[in-house]
Chain A
Amino acid sequence: MNETVVEIQNLKTYFETDKGFNPAVDGVSMTLESGRIMGLVGESGSGKSMTAMSILGLIPKPFGQILPESKILFEGEDLTKLSEKELSKIRGNKIAMIFQEPMTSLNPVYTVGKQLMEPLRLHKNLSKREAKVLALKYLEQVRIPDVEKRFASYPHQLSGGLRQRVMIAMALTCEPKLIIADEPTTALDVTIQAQILKLLKDIQVRLNTAILFITHDLGVVAELCDDVCVMYAGEIVEKCDARNLFEAPLHPYTIGLLKSLPKINEDVEALYSIEGMVPNLVNTPVGCRFAPRCDNAKAICFNKLPPRIRMATQHEVLCWQYDERAWLDE
């Protein structure tokens, strides 16, 4: 029942900067399946948002380029090769996006209802009345209380949580195959975040869509996602299902990240911390990008790019530690 919705192969998105090229996304491959939530975790600057932007073809063109060997397959078509016009048919229709700050994507001068009805009338050729009935239905689906009143509200009159619900309703209107959620709960309080996560899970179960959930919060991943990709400096360093990631993490970065997380359900005497910082991608370190911060780094880690190793069937890691060749030098 889980069919492949989007397959990303070797995605490379490079940006030009004053000082050279910034490989913001460098060789990312992943498969998004219907009925599954893929978590894309990483710190700021790891390229997780740029991956999403690349899928939607929203890379600002003069600065950013998707390199020709990249492939993003969606319904048999390569999204990287489509024209802007063809893309805009898919974007916001078959693939919907939810942003961190809904205020930037909602137009402040129109009511919520008007903004919801517009795509319905446009894509589905509905009359005003039909569109309103449908829009109200979507608002109810995202459990907005007092729908009639909210239908006539302007975005600024809503709280952050409600706005995010409206955004989700808007994403649903086009019955998308894939929903890309870029840090949708980061700007919200924890109690509201819990509500939104529950809503997303319900919707995903009911509509059997694929969701690409981008976040920096490992806790949210653990609560929500089925599969996880951990990104570091433009690369996916570890990919597996969520349970595996937390129970048996393989990549030193993931291990460090999990150890540096303060816990609410236990007392921690001293937190582990990964020293150093995310590398400057313009001057990418030769070899493993994490090597300068890695406690187990060996000579080879600084010399050669690490291999992508598939441990169990679904557990991939980008690290020399798990390759016997790394031990031959010793």
Chain B
Amino acid sequence: MIQKTQFFKEIALESKLGRLTPFGFGRKRLKYMMSVEATEAGKNSDLDASKDSKSSKSSKTSKSSKMPSSEQPPRDAEDLVTDEGFWQALFKSIYRDKKALVGLIMVSLFILIALFAPWIVPHDPYAVDMEKVLTAPNKAYVIGTDFLGRDILSRIIYGARISLMIGLVPTLISLAIGTFLGMVSGYFGGKVDYVIMRLADVCMAFPSLLLAMVVMYTLGASLFNIFIALSIVNWGSTSRIVRAQTLSIKEKEFVEAARSIGVGRFKILWRHILPNCIPSLIVLFTLSVPEAIMSEASLSFLGVGAQPPTPSWGLMISRGKEFLFSSPWVAITPGIAIFLVVIAFNFIGDGLRDALDPYTKH
């Protein structure tokens, strides 16, 4: 009969002072405090004294020591505010979420590897050595060589650069397009909304991989065209989400307040609507990156993406599949790389979503 949301509203009300800890933190301290209080209360049977012991405890926990003097009493007893901003709070909750922290570390590693690839590769990833074709993993070639005798580890490290680029660039482009169109669509409504949403419908009506393949066939297979293909394919869903957000933010009083002082329509979009969409956009971004990486791998695997000899992970799997049984390391290792990167991004995405959800309701 009694719903959860009700409690949480109540809790928010009762302890306006700060967000409650996502569980786990400080439990020990509570137990400690409880035991301290119990023993001290036992010692002093006098009511005042036992209360005093409690007050000394509360001053222990308080950061600013309230001066108990007979001077001018502090009128503003509630300096309850911390200057903790949005990003600090965000980082804090990521830090607490172990899964997201693991994801963050893995992604940072991935980015570092991609940035410093030329300095850390053991061999030239393009160097063909027909004498060492399909060498099994050994000391010199940690995970072996492929059918042209190229070092697979070096190729995977270089492949990280491509995956990172594919993960970031088209995602950012499609996010920018989708956000702009979504906001305009949601805020202006009417015919503009209708046209933009039908366009988005068209984009979303096709399976995205299929649409990307069509674009790739038309434009020709190359890395640059993958950027274009993935940007075109993915803006639809972003615009839908942003539009829905805009519709709800538009009804908020602060937007009406801005209108009442005569702020222009695009200024309202930029100043009031966009900043309030940011939390969802961050989540959307981190969840779209692995999707883009997967799409690139799929396209390359199918032969319409990156072209040899580019060390793309998808392409490496595609080429390695012929030797799957004789030399499994050729196809499996880039597969593991894709798996790790995708799962790391998903961890962060989930963590961010959890962290931002209560925050936006705050």
Contacts and interface: CB of A to CB of B under 8 A. Distances in A.
Interface of A: 14-24, 44-45, 47, 49-50, 53, 56, 58, 60, 62-65, 67-69, 92, 97, 99, 101, 104-105, 170, 275-287, 291-293, 297-299, 302-305, 307-308
B3 interface: yes
Contacts of B2: 56, 58, 97, 99, 105
16 contacts: A16-B20, A49-B10, A60-B8, A63-B11, A69-B38, A69-B41, A97-B2, A282-B15, A282-B17, A282-B62, A282-B80, A283-B80, A292-B76, A298-B70, A303-B68, A305-B55
Given A21-B61, A45-B13, A53-B10, A280 B48 contact: no
B3 A63 contact: no
B80 A280 contact: yes
A17 B19 contact: yes
Contacts of B54: 305
A240 to B, nearest CB: 20
A285 to B, nearest CB: 5
Given A99-B6, A104-B3, A282-B61, A293 B77 contact: yes
B7 A53 contact: yes
Interface string B20-33: 11011111011001
A279 B77 contact: yes
A17 B47 contact: no
Given A281-B17, A305-B55, A286 B37 contact: no
Nearest to A329: B70
B1 A92 contact: yes
Contacts of B79: 280, 283
A19 B82 contact: yes
Among all A-B residue pairs, the 5 with the closest Cβ atoms? A292-B77, A280-B80, A299-B70, A283-B62, A62-B23
Interface in B50-104: 51-52, 54-56, 58-59, 61-64, 66, 68-70, 73-80, 82
Given A17-B17, A44-B13, A283-B62, A292 B75 contact: yes
B69 A307 contact: no
Given A19-B82, A69-B38, A275-B75, A304 B52 contact: yes
B6 to A, nearest CB: 5
A64 B234 CA distance: 44
A24 B15 contact: yes
Interface of B: 1-3, 5-8, 10-11, 13-21, 23-27, 29-30, 33-34, 37-38, 41, 47-48, 51-52, 54-56, 58-59, 61-64, 66, 68-70, 73-80, 82
B61 A302 contact: no
* Binding site secondary structure of chain A: loop
Given A99-B6, A105-B2, A105-B6, A47 B14 contact: yes
B66 A21 contact: no
Contacts of A302: 66, 68-70, 73
A18 B19 contact: yes
B5 A104 contact: yes
A45 B73 contact: no
Contact of B37 (A67, A279, A293, A297): A67
A148 B7 CA distance: 33
Contact of A19 (B7, B17, B51): B17
A28 to B, nearest CB: 13
B320 to A, nearest CB: 48
A168 B82 CA distance: 42
A65 B24 CA distance: 13
B64 A45 contact: no
Contact of A68 (B18, B34, B61, B70): B34
Contacts of A305: 48, 51-52, 54-55
Contacts of A298: 70
Given A63-B20, A99-B6, A304-B52, A17 B77 contact: no
Contacts of A56: 2
Contacts of B21: 16-18, 63
Contacts of A282: 15, 17-18, 61-62, 80
A235 B40 CA distance: 20
A182 B267 CA distance: 43
Given A104-B3, A105-B2, A105-B6, A297 B11 contact: no
Quick one: which of A19, A60, A276 has the most chain B CB within 10 A? A19
A299 B72 CA distance: 10
A327 to B, nearest CB: 14
A180 to B, nearest CB: 11
Contacts of B68: 286-287, 302-303
Quick one: which of A101, A287, A307, A308 has the most chain B CB within 10 A? A287
A16 B63 CA distance: 16
B48 A304 contact: yes
Contacts of A307: 47-48
A90 B52 CA distance: 36
A275 B77 CA distance: 11
